[in-house]
Amino acid sequence: MTATHITNARVFDGRQLLDATTLTMEGQAVTAVGALDAPRDAEIVDARGGCLLPGLIDSHVHTSVDSLREALRFGVTTELEMQGYWTPEQRTDVENDDTIADVRSALIAMMAKDGHPSELMGDLGEHDPAAGEHKGWQMPSVSTPDEARAHVQAFAQAGADYIKVMIEEGTVMGHAGLPVIDSTTIKAGVDEAHRLGLKVIAHAITLAATRQALDVGVDGLAHLFIDQRADDSIIGALRDADVFITPCLAVSSSLMGRDAAHLADDPRVAGRLSQPWLDTLRGTFNSYPQGTFQHVLDSVAALHAAGVDILAGTDASVPVPSHGGVAHGASVHHELTLLVRAGLSPQAALAAATSVPARRFDLSDRGRIAPGLRADLLLVDGNPLDAISHTLDISAIWRRGVRQS
Ligand SMILES: [Zn+2]
């Protein structure tokens, strides 16, 4: 079994900087942190000046094998999909392929007939999931409590790691008046998921939808509402319900018409992305230009200060500029800078992309650096705890102990 021994590194374990300066990995796992001696025949990596991080976790994507490959190129070793589809066989292939990021998935969300995200599908061309209808399945919808329970049972059976529900009446998507599922129906699905031991994560981007998500008892929010600044009432309600939030700041900014061209122009990004993705970073949704992005940043700061768990997520999906502003992998680094801009410390931002999602999604084998855990690692030059932008100064990436070239 090949071993790797990293020396002279700062080691951020997902929560804090350790005193240790070495890490040893053998096979798929970290075997020691702080050991003075390398195993015999180990490859030695001198990380002087650098910082070792747990592989990053993107807590909101819609992905594919190609996108999992793009994610891993940026040190994102796990993507948490909030709507998508994989067969169990495909899931096994992903799990065993150390050239791509690992994935967890909600599979197909509970959604209303002709509700979100159907309004987006016309833009997608070859990426339209309705193309899946030709592969033998259709986009389902639910409109009664029985259908909600049946949906949850079916997708739990199909291998969903958690359940996603869409609560979107369209205002911030530029399609006000979209049909939504009534609360009684959603609640039946949430209760069924909980009975089966699955968490429920809601898509909600307005305060009203967030209130509805809280009323039906979801465990997490895949977005933060962007139509209002958080007030004490909603902050207290979210904290008391112990709901986690993946604010998806980069895509919120895109909804308000701001692109991520600076990311596409960054040589550390440009060299790792294909042209369609660079074009996508230069695009925007621009469906809610009247929004005030500073309000969203203020909300994140207030929620974090109140003790609400904040997770880093991008909502990256397919390379279509009209759904732009985000790309797999690269945008996790953008999200980290935005979380710091909102007021999180670099340490808290890094935790939002490592240990916090691992804890909230019960990923006990990753998201932290400790003996026995997966050797999913990102080595960067410089100290991102001083300046978060160093996370893009990527020096090496390991997925289950396999170094990426
Ligand atoms: Zn999404």
Domains 1-54+366-405 and 56-364 share a fold: no
Q: How far is the CA of 335 from the centre of ligand 1 (A)?
A: 15
- The token duo for 405 is 């070239």
Q: How far is the CA of 8 from the centre of ligand 1 (A)?
A: 39
Our separate counts of H helices and E strands in the chain read: 14, 16
Q: What superfamily would CATH give domain 56-364?
A: Metal-dependent hydrolases (3.20.20.140)
List phi, psi (to 5°) of 270.
Answer: -55, -40
Q: How much is the pTM?
A: 0.96
C-beta atoms surrounding 8 within 10 Å: 12
Q: How far is the CA of 46 from the centre of ligand 1 (A)?
A: 39
Q: How far is the CA of 30 from the centre of ligand 1 (A)?
A: 32
C-beta atoms surrounding 135 within 10 Å: 7
Q: How far is the CA of 386 from the centre of ligand 1 (A)?
A: 31
Q: How far is the CA of 166 from the centre of ligand 1 (A)?
A: 9
Please name which of 347, 385, 12, 381 lies closest in space to residue 23, comparing C-alpha atoms.
12
The reported pLDDT for the residue numbered 121 is 74
CA 165/CA 283 separation, integer angstroms:
27
Q: How far is the CA of 302 from the centre of ligand 1 (A)?
A: 23
Q: How far is the CA of 248 from the centre of ligand 1 (A)?
A: 9
Q: How far is the CA of 301 from the centre of ligand 1 (A)?
A: 22
Q: How far is the CA of 404 from the centre of ligand 1 (A)?
A: 28
Q: How far is the CA of 203 from the centre of ligand 1 (A)?
A: 7
Q: How far is the CA of 188 from the centre of ligand 1 (A)?
A: 22
Q: How far is the CA of 205 from the centre of ligand 1 (A)?
A: 11
The reported pLDDT for the residue numbered 232 is 97
Burial class, 252, CB count within 10 angstroms (exposed 0-12 / middle 13-18 / buried 19+): buried
- The token duo for 165 is 């529900």
Sign of CA dihedral 166, 170, 175, 180: positive
- The token duo for 94 is 């992903």
CA 310/CA 37 separation, integer angstroms:
38
C-beta atoms surrounding 186 within 10 Å: 27
The reported pLDDT for the residue numbered 129 is 57
CA 109/CA 107 separation, integer angstroms:
7
The reported pLDDT for the residue numbered 134 is 45
Q: How far is the CA of 82 from the centre of ligand 1 (A)?
A: 6
Q: How far is the CA of 189 from the centre of ligand 1 (A)?
A: 19
Q: How far is the CA of 315 from the centre of ligand 1 (A)?
A: 5
Please name which of 369, 355, 373, 365 lies closest in space to residue 27, comparing C-alpha atoms.
373
Give the residue carrying structure tokens 């809280």. 214
List phi, psi (to 5°) of 53.
Answer: -125, 155
The reported pLDDT for the residue numbered 16 is 98
DSSP H or E segment with residue 203: strand 200-203
Map residue 278 onto helix, strand or coil. Answer: helix
Q: How far is the CA of 231 from the centre of ligand 1 (A)?
A: 25
The reported pLDDT for the residue numbered 105 is 98
Helix axes 293-305, 330-342, angle to 10 degrees: 70
Please name which of 357, 350, 354, 339 lies closest in space to residue 384, comparing C-alpha atoms.
350
The reported pLDDT for the residue numbered 7 is 98
Q: How far is the CA of 296 from the centre of ligand 1 (A)?
A: 17
Please name which of 127, 70, 139, 119 lies closest in space to residue 320, comparing C-alpha atoms.
127
Q: Is the peptide bond before 117 cis (omega within 30 degrees of 0)?
A: yes
The reported pLDDT for the residue numbered 171 is 83
Give the residue carrying structure tokens 């469906």. 287
Please name which of 338, 381, 385, 332 lies closest in space to residue 357, comparing C-alpha atoms.
332
Q: How far is the CA of 365 from the centre of ligand 1 (A)?
A: 25
The reported pLDDT for the residue numbered 169 is 85
Q: How far is the CA of 33 from the centre of ligand 1 (A)?
A: 36
Query: pLDDT tens string for the chain (405 positions)?
Result: 689 999 999 999 999 999 999 999 999 999 999 999 999 999 999 999 999 999 999 999 999 999 999 999 999 999 999 999 999 999 999 999 999 999 999 999 999 888 888 877 766 666 665 554 544 556 788 999 999 999 999 999 999 999 999 998 888 888 888 888 999 999 999 999 999 999 999 999 999 999 999 999 999 999 999 999 999 999 999 999 999 999 999 999 999 999 999 999 999 999 999 999 999 999 999 999 999 999 999 999 999 999 999 999 999 999 999 989 999 999 999 999 999 999 999 999 999 999 999 999 999 999 999 999 999 999 999 999 999 999 999 999 999 999 998
Q: How far is the CA of 270 from the centre of ligand 1 (A)?
A: 24
Q: How far is the CA of 106 from the centre of ligand 1 (A)?
A: 11
- The token duo for 264 is 């596409």
Domain boundaries, the chain: 1-54+366-405, 56-364
Q: How far is the CA of 308 from the centre of ligand 1 (A)?
A: 21
Q: How far is the CA of 226 from the centre of ligand 1 (A)?
A: 15
The reported pLDDT for the residue numbered 168 is 85
Q: Are 37 and 378 in contact (CB under 8 A)?
A: no
The radius of gyration of the chain from alpha carbons, rounded to an integer in Å, stands at 20
CATH topology of domain 1-54+366-405: Urease, subunit C; domain 1 (2.30.40)
